[in-house]
Amino acid sequence: MSYTITDKIAVVTGAGRGIGKAIAEMLAANGAHVICVSKSPESCGAVAEGINANGGKAKAVAVDVSDGPAVKQVCEELLNEFGTIDILVNNAGITRDGLLFRMSEDDWSSVINTNLSSCFYWTKGLARPMTRKRWGRIVNITSVSGIAGNAGQINYAAAKAGMIGFTKSVAREFASRSVTCNAVAPGFITTDMTASFVENASEAILANIPLKKFGEAADIANIVTYLCSEESKYVTGQVFTIDGGMVM
Ligand code: NAP
């Protein structure tokens, strides 16, 4: 399936691995110029290099998405270099799981800052040109944990639930400028983030997934690519759950 994204400039955070890498590659395959963001220069560098080697257009930027001033500076540099950004995918995220009584303040704040505050920094830094030219797409990668809650993940579930409120509010603020903002909530997708989980509790997890299999990064990239395209112009403020039927 191909979508109309040609020559749009897209920023994808957390593009060094897993879901973000699949999103960056699919956007590039559909004609976007993709800025791949990750924490380490090696991972986003390798993804951008791969896209360029396959005939696409990509650039790598290494920055800690939870560092507000650093993200502000990167956004200014990108707007100077490209003139505009059309698409923003807030995908970078981490987990620091633990039960409430054992959770440190650092585990709480690092998860809130990396998953949720980062959406505020990037959207504030990049959305103004979208509203001026009356075209823009913002997609936030939340989680089923943010919809249903999850024992042992109060920090992560709170951050991901916050992203849903953020998404709906941005959608309302920017709707009159034809800038859409949607969220995608994955279930269990096989990536580095879920590797140990899936290895240790595979049977127990599968018992709760009606489709009886884990998702692939491409399952998320498919819907994100649609939400970044011209074809999704009448869709905003929505949360798309891609989880094999776990949350209905
Ligand atoms: P992953 O394989 O662990 O990859 C995470 C990516 O985010 C990496 O490229 C990493 O950079 C980047 N990142 C993490 N912290 C960062 C920071 N402070 N600054 C900049 N970049 C940072 O994760 P994933 O499984 O693909 O998950 C992607 C998103 O989907 C996350 O928001 C996650 O919460 C969400 N999600 C995933 C699942 C799942 O089953 N996998 C389910 C629900 C939701 P480096 O490469 O430099 O380390």
Tens digit of pLDDT for each residue in 183-220? 999 999 999 988 887 778 788 889 999 999 999 999 99
Please name the residue whose Cα sits nearest to atom 31 of ligand 1. 93
- Ligand 1 lined by 11 (C-beta under 6 Å): no
- Ligand 1 lined by 188 (C-beta under 6 Å): yes
Report the separation in Å between the CA atom of 17 and the middle of ligand 1, taken as the mean of its atom positions.
Answer: 7
176: Cβ contacts below 8 Å, ≥ 6 apart: none
Report the separation in Å between the CA atom of 170 and the middle of ligand 1, taken as the mean of its atom positions.
Answer: 22
Strand order of the β-sheet with 57-62 is 57-62, 33-38, 9-13, 87-90, 136-141, 179-186, 239-242
> What pLDDT, on a 0 to 100 scale, did the predictor assign at position 48?
98
CB atoms within 10 A of CB 238: 15
> What pLDDT, on a 0 to 100 scale, did the predictor assign at position 111?
98
Residue 4 lies in a domain: no
Residue 2 lies in a domain: no
> What pLDDT, on a 0 to 100 scale, did the predictor assign at position 76?
98
> Per the structure block, which two tokens stand in for 6?
């040609």
For 179, the 3-state DSSP assignment is strand
> What pLDDT, on a 0 to 100 scale, did the predictor assign at position 197?
77
Is 156 part of the annotated catalytic residue set?
yes
Residue 197 lies in a domain: no
Query: Contact 89/228 with Cβ under 8 angstroms?
Result: yes
**What is the rounded distance in angstroms from the CA atom of residue 46 to the CA atom of residue 117?**
26
CATH number of the domain encompassing residue 158: 3.40.50.720
**What is the rounded distance in angstroms from the CA atom of residue 75 to the CA atom of residue 66?**
14
In the chain, at which residue ranges do the beta strands (DSSP E only) sit? 9-13, 33-38, 57-62, 87-90, 136-141, 179-186, 239-242
Short-list 20, 113, 37, CA closest to 74: 37
> What pLDDT, on a 0 to 100 scale, did the predictor assign at position 198?
77
User: Residue 60 carries which side chain, given as an amino acid letter?
Assistant: A
- Ligand 1 lined by 21 (C-beta under 6 Å): no
Residue 209 lies in a domain: no
Report the separation in Å between the CA atom of 176 and the middle of ligand 1, taken as the mean of its atom positions.
Answer: 31
Q: How many domains does the chain have?
A: 1
Residue 171 lies in a domain: yes
Residue 175 lies in a domain: yes
Residue 199 lies in a domain: no
35-56 pLDDT tens trace: 999 999 999 999 999 999 999 9
Residue 48 lies in a domain: yes
Query: Between helices 18-29 and 41-53, what is the axis angle to 10°?
Result: 30
Q: Which domain holds residue 98?
A: 9-189+217-241
109: Cβ contacts below 8 Å, ≥ 6 apart: none
Tokens 């400039």 belong to which residue?
9
User: Probe ligand 1: pick from 21, 115, 191, max atoms within 8 Å of CB?
Assistant: 191
Low-confidence ranges of the chain (pLDDT < 70): 1
pTM of the model: 0.98
> What pLDDT, on a 0 to 100 scale, did the predictor assign at position 4?
93
